[in-house]
């Protein structure tokens, strides 16, 4: 992952990590997905966490999030699609009343 990818990764991670503690809880993941209009069941949420929570602490840290991010990036052969996805994240962040300093 290039330098630009890491910067982007951190930015997206921070959008999910609402309280800035360096890990994404199940609740933060659920809130972020709901803000994107994605409503998933508790069961599906647990499966997502289980799949990406490599160290088994019940949280998603930036390294684990990076694995997920890279998986998405690799599935997106067309870079324009990837940019569209992040523009979507940007829109959500802009629309959200929750702002970071």
Any domain includes 30: yes
Question: What is the dihedral angle through the alpha carbons of 14, 15, 20, 21, rounded to the nearest 10 degrees?
Answer: -80
Domain of residue 29, residue span: 3-95
Is the full-model pTM beyond 0.75? no
Q: How many domains does the chain have?
A: 1
Residue 59 lies in a domain: yes
pLDDT at 36 over 60: yes
CATH value at residue 47:
1.10.238.10
Q: Is residue 101 part of a domain?
A: no
Q: Which pLDDT belongs to residue 63?
A: 93
- pLDDT for the residue numbered 97: 45
Asked whether the predicted pLDDT for residue 6 surpasses 70, the reply is: yes
In a domain, 100, yes or no: no
Q: Positive or negative CA dihedral for 88, 51, 10, 80?
A: negative
Distance from C-alpha of 23 to C-alpha of 66, rounded to nearest angstrom: 12
Q: Is residue 8 part of a domain?
A: yes
Please say if the pLDDT value at position 76 is more than 60. Answer: no
Smallest CA-to-CA distance from 21 within 53, 58, 60 is with 60
Q: Is pLDDT above 80 for 2?
A: no
**Residue 73 within any structural domain of the chain:** yes
Residue 35 has pLDDT above 70, yes or no: yes
In a domain, 57, yes or no: yes
In this predicted structure, the answer to whether residue 32 has a pLDDT above a threshold of 70 is: yes
Using CA atoms of 86, 53, 19, 7 in order, give the dihedral in degrees to the nearest 10.
Answer: -40
């Amino acid at each position: 992952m290039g330098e630009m990818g890491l910067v982007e990764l951190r930015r997206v991670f921070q959008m999910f990590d609402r309280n800035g503690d360096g890990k994404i809880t199940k609740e933060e993941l659920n809130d972020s997905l709901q803000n994107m209009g994605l409503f998933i069941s508790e069961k599906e949420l647990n499966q997502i966490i289980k799949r990406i929570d490599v160290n088994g602490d019940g949280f998603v840290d930036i390294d684990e999030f990076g694995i997920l991010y890279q998986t998405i990036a690799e599935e997106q052969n067309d870079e324009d699609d990837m940019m569209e996805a992040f523009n979507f994240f940007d829109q959500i962040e802009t629309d959200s009343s929750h702002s970071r300093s």
